[in-house]
Amino acid sequence: MTDLVCGALDRQHGLLEATRSWSAEDWLAWDDEVRVLGRWHSQALPSRRELFGGSALGETERLAVALCHPDGRVRERALGEVTTDSGLTPLVAVRSTDWAGPVRDRARALLRDLLTAAEAVRYAGLLVRLGERARGEFGAGLLRELIGPDSVRPLLHDPDRQVRRHAHRLAVDRRWLDARASARRAAEDPDAVVQQLCADAALRDVTEEDADEVLHALLGARSARARSAGVTALRRLGRGERAWDFLVDRNALVRACARYVVRQDGGDPREFYAELCADPLSLEVPPGAVIGLAECGDRADAGVLWACTGHEWDAVRASAVAGLRALDLALPDRLLPLLDDESPKVVREVVAALLPDAARLPGAWLAERLAPGRERHTRVAAFRLLSARGGVPQLRVCVSLLENEDEDERLRRWAEQSVQRWQPGREVPRGDAEVAALLTRSAHLFSGDALRERRRAAGVPVESRDKGQESQEKGQERQTEGRAEGQVEGQLEKRARTWGLRMGQGMRRLRRSRG
């Protein structure tokens, strides 16, 4: 944006055409950059005489600079020259949040005259962002005054998330959307805030006449927030039997809401889950039933969950591992073989279950899973567990990955960071020869002081430095200390001169006053 400001000043014309496609961030950036130029590079901006007494700049360029000038008197004077045709209404909106009271009051009065309903829609993003400032309530309030039931509709689909949130709050508070429209917006909008806002509005306004349409939109939504709101409303609308279909939903919140509705109607979700999982290896077992059994079951269901870890579908296996973790039944010896699973989602669940017991995992077995021929998700899982395990196996594997120049660039970067963060734990014997060798092989990753600190922490001998290096470092330290002392002395001398000058001026004033 600094280049744009300088370019506009050099070309002198054409800014009005460029601003037609500006976003809210562009207008705010222009305001910031003009102020920065005026404060630190004042020679780059036209003077006050040039701005108001015959500048070669075009009318738009001249006012755009003057409206953002660091001098408040210039900003206030420029506001008096802004017209409807100048195309600078956004900068007037920015000035309505000005810290200077006279500038702010004049800008607010002008903005009320300039801003139309169409321009309020066009500049809604800027007005919403200005509303977040300490003195920005005027622009946001003006936006609320000018927006009506018809003009709010394009804002409901605006690509700017903050504009959509503001527009939906306005539409919901003023009841411009009926229950059906609110349900559709909750199902279609990707923003979680809008989803929750519209789902609550749909349930607030739903009636028996439009209940089917509202529930169809909410229960069929991709968003878990919308589906959970629809499931919660089933019992109130007399359709509680439909909640059974959502006991196996892919989302935990939706399953919890469905279990609540089922229990309110006297049903038993656990029996439902147990029936679905009666044959753990059946292809008819839905993944949601497996994790649902763990969510409302107890440790007696461990046998069913362990059996589901051998299911043909990876989603069922992943749900079974997640269920075992939820019931605190994740036995490392039985879960470790699943690190070789062909499905990344299963391996991710296995890693999440094993991380609390990482210190007890076999380091050599995990190191084998980092071999170059393994699947990438298996290698990443083994690396995560080794990093959590720590100790000599972690350092050994990381140094090996770096020395062998592993083809996976991300793994190499993680290995480098792990070596630099490595600290010897209690399980690492002090003075271990392998640790000393590994630190020597990875010495290029440390500064001299950091390497010596690691060696001392591990109890291995610290390598001595030659006398030339020591003398060079001492010389550098003395030079640094000398420069610092010189800077301090210079500052003290400057302060002494300043205070002496002030004292002299004070004494002269005192003598003149005594006459």
Instruction: Put residue 278 in one of left, alpha, beta given phi > 0 → left and psi -120 to 50 → alpha.
Output: alpha
Q: Which two tokens stand for residue 380?
A: 């990443």
pLDDT of 266 strictly over 70? yes
CB 187 within 8 A of CB 201: no
Query: In whole angstroms, what is the distance from residue 509 CA to residue 495 CA?
Result: 21
Can you give 186-240 as a three-state secondary structure string?
A: HHHCCCHHHHHHHHHHHHHHCCCCCHHHHHHHHHCCCCHHHHHHHHHHHHHCCCH
Mean pLDDT of 57-72: 82
Of 190-194, 348-352, 509-513, the range with the lowest mean pLDDT is: 509-513
Q: How many Å apart are CA 171 and CA 160, to the nearest integer? A: 17
Higher pLDDT, 37 or 58: 37
Residue 4 pLDDT more than 60?
no
| Rounded Cα gap, residues 469 and 221, in angstroms | 68
How confident is the model over 90-141, as pLDDT tens digits?
Answer: 999 999 999 999 999 999 999 999 999 999 999 999 999 999 998 999 999 9
Cα dihedral 362/367/369/371 (nearest 10): -160
pLDDT at 469: 45
Handedness of CA 312, 316, 321, 323 (dihedral sign): negative
- Measured distance CA(356)–CA(94) in Å, rounded: 53
Q: How confident is the model at residue 287 (pLDDT cuts 50, 70, 90)?
A: very high
For residue 254, with 0-12 CB atoms within 10 Å meaning exposed, 13-18 middle and 19 or more buried, which class applies? buried
The amino acid at 176 = W
Q: What is the 3-state secondary structure (H, E, C) of 391-404?
A: HHHHHHHHHHHHHC
Four-residue CA torsion sign, 125, 131, 134, 137: positive
Residue 162 near residue 125, CB atoms below 8 Å? yes
In whole angstroms, what is the distance from residue 182 CA to residue 217 CA? 9
Judge whether 180 and 214 are in contact, CB under 8 Å. yes
pLDDT for res 10: 45
Cα 62 vs. chain centroid, distance in angstroms?
A: 39
- Per-residue model confidence as pLDDT tens digits over 194-232: 999 999 999 999 999 999 999 999 999 999 999 999 999
What is the model's pTM?
A: 0.77
**Over residues 397-410, mean pLDDT:** 92
Q: Are 256 and 262 in contact (CB under 8 A)?
A: no
- The predicted structure's pLDDT at residue 480: 58
- Name the maximum alpha-carbon separation found in the chain: 110
pLDDT of 7 reads 52
Residues 6+ apart with CB under 8 A from 416: 398, 402, 445
Q: Is the pLDDT of residue 269 over 80?
A: yes
Mean pLDDT computed over 325-350 = 95
Average pLDDT over residues 227-248: 94
Amino acid residing at 312: E
The pLDDT assigned to 467 comes to: 43
Residue 313 burial (CB count, 10 A): 15
pLDDT digits (tens, 9 = 90+) for 181-195: 999 999 999 999 999
Structure tokens at 239: 């359709």
For all residues of the chain together, what is the average pLDDT? 87
Tokens of 28: 């705010």
In the block, tokens 């590079």 appear at 41
CA distances from 472 to 199, 453, 469, 486 (A): 70, 21, 5, 21
Contact, 96 vs 66, CB < 8 A?
no
Higher-pLDDT residue of 6, 178: 178
In tens, the pLDDT along 487-496 reads: 656 665 666 5
Q: Which amino acid is at 68?
A: C
Cα–Cα separations (whole angstroms), residue 164 to 121, 126, 180: 12, 13, 18
Does residue 514 register a pLDDT over 70? no
- Residue 42 confidence class, pLDDT cut points 50, 70, 90: low
Residue 485: count other Cβ atoms within 10 Å of its Cβ.
10
pLDDT at residue number 426: 86
Say whether pLDDT at 165 is over 70.
yes
The pLDDT-based confidence of 49 (bands split at 50, 70, 90) is low
Rounded distance between C-alpha atoms, residue 378 and residue 344, angstroms: 8
Supply 208's token pair.
């028996």
